[in-house]
Amino acid sequence: MKTFSAKANEVDRKWWLIDAAEQPLGRVAAKAAVLLRGKHKPIFTPHVDTGDFVIVINAEKVAVLGKKETDKVYTSFSGFVGGHKSENVKQRRARHPEKLVELAVRGMIPHNRLGRSVYTKLKVYTGAEHPHAAQQPAATTI
């Protein structure tokens, strides 16, 4: 019996909808990462993009447990002197709530060319509305 290897142009891609309202951030990100990679499919091949499209709605209502709202810190550095910036979850939620989910998912997919192509299939929105109704996304539970 020969080993099956999927080909990216032959993969049937579905659209999934995840409602992040009152769901833990890590669980939302983990579910999205599995669907994006295609690990839920029997044709999963580690070096091929076999994943589906994922829409996450209500990103501003995602839950973080414990004291992470004030204690978890996101940092960035511009490369220039004095270019260190940091903000906690509360500040990021006020400024860019969709970035909370995007960054959590990005950390759960490969950090290479495959991961970058997988990441483009993630769509995160604040609020319950999204412009992908024509794709008829199937709702999934966490």
Q: How confident is the model at residue 1 (pLDDT cuts 50, 70, 90)?
A: confident
The superfamily (CATH) of domain 8-65+97-139 is Ribosomal protein L13 (3.90.1180.10)
d(CA 116, CA 41): 20
The pLDDT tens digits for 12-63 are 999 999 999 999 999 999 999 999 999 999 999 999 999 999 999 999 999 9
Using a pLDDT cut of 90, give the percent of the chain over it.
96
Q: What is the pLDDT of residue 93?
A: 96
Q: What is the pLDDT of residue 57?
A: 98
pTM comes to 0.93
- What's the average model confidence in pLDDT over 114-119? 97
4 CB neighbour count, 10 Å cutoff: 8
> Residue 45 burial by CB count (10 A; 0-12/13-18/19+): exposed, middle or buried?
middle
Contact 119, 106 (CB under 8 A): yes
DSSP the chain: -PPP---GGG----EEEEE-TTSBHHHHHHHHHHHHHTTTSTT--TTS----EEEEE-GGG-B--TTHHHH-EEEEE-SSTT-EEEEEHHHHHHH-HHHHHHHHHHTTS-SSHHHHHHHTTEEE-SSS--S-GGG-PEE---
Contact 72, 87 (CB under 8 A): no
